[in-house]
Structure 1
Amino acid sequence: MTDTVDQLVRLHAANDPDKPMVIDPDHRITYGELDVTTREMAGAFVAAGVGKGTRVGLIMPNRAQWVQVSVALTRIGAVLVPMSTLLQPPELVDQLRVASVQYLVAVDEFRGHRYLDDVAPERANLPALRGVWDSRHLPRPDNEVDVDAITTSVTPSDTLAIMFTSGSSGPPKGVIHSHGNALGAVRSGLTARCIGADTRLYLPMPFFWVGGFGSGVLSALVAGATLVTEEIPRPESTLRLLERERVTLFRGWPDQAEALARQTDSVAADLSSLRPGSLEALLPPDQRAQPGARAKLFGMTESFGPYCGYPADTDMPRSAWGSCGKPFAGMDVRIVDQDSGAPLPAGEVGVIQIRGPHVMRGICRRGRYDLFTADGYYPTGDLGHLDADGFMFYHGRSDDMFKVSGATVYPSEVEQALRTIAGVDNAFVTEVAGAVGAVVVSERAVDDVRAEVRKRLSAFKVPTVWLRVDSDSEIPRKATGKVDARALKVLLAEQT
């Protein structure tokens, strides 16, 4: 059985101890070393007061040490609470309070943030918080602790992590996942992401998001693969890292892959080790698919990452182009009417509801009756439809849909059309004073983009309010990385 983090570490340490598990620019840790170092670290945490069920926050950029700390804690059944390095002091304190964090491990400083200084004045307002550790000075090992007796007591039903996410509005939510549901979710999506034991995986997503923790750290651990990471991705250093470590799979953000692709000639990096399934901008032209032919993996924090997909190196049937693929094994998906909640037939757009063993266990400070339907489905707030063959198409958020002259506009549909235009790297669409507004990341003039999108969409869906920006970094985002819809509206309103 490999349904807990400890079981996975022991399995790979026994079968392939010399294989690298995680590599950063300064460190290489094999599966054998991961077993030994995290066992020692776990004993130190236990001696310092951390036990099964103890909630431990972790603030640290992507690095090998992040993996070691997270594995050490979860091996002994402590609850990992990954926290964003982007958090401002009030946000950090609020998340510590919501998750009732008892201990905090943090780097002293990262990109101008001094997290330990941020927390110190608020200790009196955080009654659950017992201790704070600088990541440079973690508890010292204690050989008197019987770590094995503790790790073997951890079960798949025990809580693994609390992952913070934010909706389109409102405060962040602390989403609770068990070892069993999280590892099951990761395992169900490995084939769609083309991850196997021989994969050398790079992805830029921060480990504090489910996209980094689940699709990166735990995907490598479940598959017995190698994870390559770095604290601050920059085109030249990233390309050199990909080349040096012979990375075979690049997953993550398409805009970063496109930015890297623009630099490959000037850097003269050899990326020939990359395989199909990687983001296509970094692959040779003959290995790229036609627009819409490959599934866009779809998921959320509440499902511990993607719950729909299709092998990333394989074209879907023509009728399914533009879809998110099919629900993975272990996930029931149904579409219901937004008003009545009644299930809808294939082809009709409604709210997506999900159910199954890979769905979250709950949300901090909320009861299950607030979250799930009577028959166990979680209403995601996303809109979509299933076709007759079971492929799912995404239509945006139920709270993003809006009307223009009485006709319904789904922002995701307009965004998808804009992103198929050559020269458009990204696009974001929202309602602005009753009109369709769009922010496009593109080198092309707005008039050119407008002319192209008119060939793809009905007239009422074509944006009338535009803002062109040069880089995805100009898009306003929340600390969780999601687009800040309110700030986007403000930007577009300034154009009217």
Structure 2
Amino acid sequence: MTDPVRCGTDTVDRLVRLRAERDPTSVAVIDPHARITYGQLHVTTIDLAAAFIEAGVGKGTRVGLIMPNSVRWVQIAVALTRIGAVLVPLSTLLAPPELAAQLRTASVRVLISVPEFRGRRYLDDLEAHRAALPALRAVWTAEQAVTAPVSERATRIVDALTDAVTPSDLFVVMFTSGSSGPPKGVMHSHGNALAAVRSGLDARCITAETRLYLPMPFFWVGGFGSGVLSALLAGATLVTEEIPQADTTLRLLERERVTLFRGWPDQAEALARHPASVSADLSSLRPGSLEALLPPQDRSDPGARATLFGMTEAFGPYCGYRADTDMPRSAWGSCGRPFAGMQVRITDTESGAPVSGGVIGEIQLRGPHVMRGVCRRGREEVFTADGWYPTGDLGRLDDDGFLFYHGRSDDMFKVSGATVYPSEVEKALRTIDGVAGAFVTDVSNAVGAMVVSRRPVDQLRAEARARLSAFKVPTVWLVVDDDAAVPRRATGKVDVRALRELLTAATGPRRVP
């Protein structure tokens, strides 16, 4: 018998209708202040879609959304995409010039925003840039968007508009960026995005019984795809919050009996170290969760479980292995195997020619789950002549098809003629007891490392020497007590340029309290 969850959910509207029909009383999304069932999600987003239609939003209208994680974020996103509007999630971390640049790049026509979050007043700050945004026709607060009046005509035509949306229609523009350069708006269709998320559900151990928590913001593909859309596809319950903090997050995990904690390993490790974790009952967590929060008997040996690997251009993870299962011993330390629907090849970084198994080169992707394109760029600027996407990531495939990640092609560097892959050094440093994070780059023909740890530098150096070849051992060290000291961009990625500047300013090993 054909599974309707696999063949009948190729647009967001069809997926929501199926969930409302099959699981109307199951809880879809929970935040600290609200919760909504799948039946309620269907009804409220149809009503909200009618309000958007009344305001002039329709198929193809690009709508920016800037607000923190919440039930309301999900309702607005679902309502827009059900009628074929193109969602443009925007980071709450953006400075005004960055926000204007992304609105311009994506040709956003309508912006929906909270008035203020964490000291940023987005709508006020944007006024100085309005003249440079000719496509932007309307700016609404989130409250205005959900309370707009609706005519009988708008209500009547909602179903007709949802029926007109096809899997090939543009669904979302997700922004990503490296350490520098202009905004990169990655375009995905309904069909390719939902199929990409579906292909990784089993690896992420997400089922209808899952109560899923992950700290990633919904404006990143990790939060939207691995959170919101994963829950919708599986019929799971998604638990979220605006600002993850140790005390409130632990209470939320306990209160909502969360069964699966996915996301950033460093946050799980921080929660495990927090004194409140002694009294918080996390017994509902199941294998497949980040292991720092699991009891010792449910944890694996280092490297035995895959680190799911992906990118915005692939709409999240495209490579992995079941998160609750050890890989074959020969694959330890890998990212697992590519998911169905994704082809992966490794090419020489200079010639572009495919290389043999085991050789490190650039990872290239092809297949139905890859993005449709990039805003304001021609296809020939994005893909190779034979249809592959050059990711800029370095990796190798073993004989069994497991992918090993070796960092970014623009991050690798040479020390005395020998190639250093920052990710390899970072991985080794993170195995040192007491190291919560490690970030590596080149500093004047030397290896520099910023390490989050409370251990003395000389101990860290000695441990590194036992794990790495001599030329890979950092000679410039900057040790900090808190991950908050690590420079990051609005995307959450490490700002490599700022990291290099910090390490360059460090005159030898030192600790920053």
TM-score band, normalised by shorter chain: over 0.9
1:240 aligns with 2:251: yes
Q: Distance in 1 between matches of 2:152 and 2:129?
A: 34
CA shift digits 1:269-292 (9 cap, x unpaired): 100000000000000011011110
For the 8 Å contact 2:62–2:86, the answer to whether it is kept is: yes
For the 8 Å contact 2:271–2:277, the answer to whether it is kept is: no
Shift of 1:80: 0.2
Q: Distance in 2 between matches of 1:141 and 1:261?
A: 48
Q: Distance in 1 between matches of 2:456 and 2:192?
A: 47
Instruction: State how 1:284-433 maps to structure 2 within 5 Å.
Output: 284-433=295-444
Shift of 1:161: 0.3
Identity within the alignment, %? 74
For the 8 Å contact 1:176–1:360, the answer to whether it is kept is: yes
Which residue number in structure 2 is paired with residue 140 of structure 1? 149
Q: Which blocks of at least 5 consecutive residues in structure 1 are unaligned?
A: none
Moved more, 22-31 or 112-121: 112-121
Which of these residues, 83, 99, 106, is aligned with residue 113 of structure 2? 106
Which residue number in structure 2 is paired with residue 149 of structure 1? 160
Amino acid in the other structure paired with 2:465: R
Instruction: State how 1:14-53 maps to structure 2 within 5 Å.
Output: 14-53=21-60
Moved more, 24-33 or 141-150: 141-150
CA shift digits 1:241-291 (9 cap, x unpaired): 000100000001111111111125566110000000000000001101111
1:476 aligns with 2:483: no
For the 8 Å contact 1:261–1:281, the answer to whether it is kept is: yes
Instruction: State how 1:254-293 maps to structure 2 within 5 Å.
Output: 254-263=265-274, 265=276, 268-293=279-304
Shift of 1:419: 0.7
Which residue number in structure 2 is paired with residue 249 of structure 1? 260
For the 8 Å contact 2:348–2:354, the answer to whether it is kept is: yes
Q: Distance in 2 between matches of 1:261 and 1:437?
A: 28
Q: Distance in 2 between matches of 1:248 and 1:212?
A: 17
Amino acid in the other structure paired with 1:205: M
3-state SS in 2 of match to 1:272 = coil
Q: Distance in 1 between matches of 2:234 and 2:345?
A: 29
Which of these residues, 428, 431, 445, is aligned with residue 434 of structure 1? 445
Which residue number in structure 2 is paired with residue 54 of structure 1? 61
| TM-score, structure 2 as length reference | 0.96
Q: Distance in 2 between matches of 1:392 and 1:161?
A: 28
Q: Distance in 2 between matches of 1:186 and 1:268?
A: 35
1:449 aligns with 2:460: yes
Q: Distance in 2 between matches of 1:264 and 1:239?
A: 11
3-state SS in 1 of match to 2:474 = coil
Shift of 1:122: 2.3
3-state SS in 2 of match to 1:144 = helix
Shift of 1:473: 1.2
Q: CA RMSD in A?
A: 0.9
Q: Distance in 1 between matches of 2:281 and 2:67?
A: 30
Shift of 1:140: 2.7
For the 8 Å contact 2:342–2:369, the answer to whether it is kept is: yes
Q: Distance in 1 between matches of 2:116 and 2:278?
A: 31
Number of equivalenced pairs: 496
Moved more, 420-429 or 121-130: 121-130
For the 8 Å contact 1:156–1:178, the answer to whether it is kept is: yes
Amino acid in the other structure paired with 2:470: A
Q: Distance in 2 between matches of 1:171 and 1:400?
A: 18
For the 8 Å contact 1:236–1:267, the answer to whether it is kept is: no
CA shift digits 1:453-493 (9 cap, x unpaired): 11111000000000111111111011111110000001101
1:181 aligns with 2:188: no
Q: Distance in 1 between matches of 2:217 and 2:355?
A: 37
Q: Distance in 1 between matches of 2:36 and 2:126?
A: 31
3-state SS in 1 of match to 2:171 = strand
Instruction: State how 1:478-493 maps to structure 2 within 5 Å.
Output: 478-493=489-504
3-state SS in 2 of match to 1:482 = coil
For the 8 Å contact 1:177–1:362, the answer to whether it is kept is: yes
Q: Distance in 2 between matches of 1:122 and 1:494?
A: 35
Which of these residues, 127, 130, 141, is aligned with residue 123 of structure 1? 130
3-state SS in 2 of match to 1:136 = helix
| TM-score, structure 1 as length reference | 0.99
CA shift digits 1:345-368 (9 cap, x unpaired): 100000000000000000000000
Amino acid in the other structure paired with 2:351: S
Q: Distance in 1 between matches of 2:257 and 2:37?
A: 16
3-state SS in 1 of match to 2:49 = helix
CA shift digits 1:272-322 (9 cap, x unpaired): 000000000000011011110110111111000010100000000011000
Shift of 1:208: 0.3
Moved over 3 A (4+): 264-267
Q: Which blocks of at least 5 consecutive residues in structure 2 are unaligned?
A: 1-7, 508-513
1:227 aligns with 2:238: yes
Q: Distance in 1 between matches of 2:408 and 2:11?
A: 33
Which residue number in structure 2 is paired with residue 65 of structure 1? 72
Q: Distance in 2 between matches of 1:401 and 1:280?
A: 30
Amino acid in the other structure paired with 2:273: R
Q: Distance in 2 between matches of 1:330 and 1:200?
A: 27
Which of these residues, 466, 475, 486, is aligned with residue 464 of structure 1? 475
For the 8 Å contact 1:353–1:380, the answer to whether it is kept is: yes
Shift of 1:386: 0.2
Q: Distance in 2 between matches of 1:409 and 1:155?
A: 46
Q: Distance in 2 between matches of 1:373 and 1:219?
A: 30
Shift of 1:495: 1.0
CA shift digits 1:90-146 (9 cap, x unpaired): 001111101000000000000010011122232222110110111122133333221
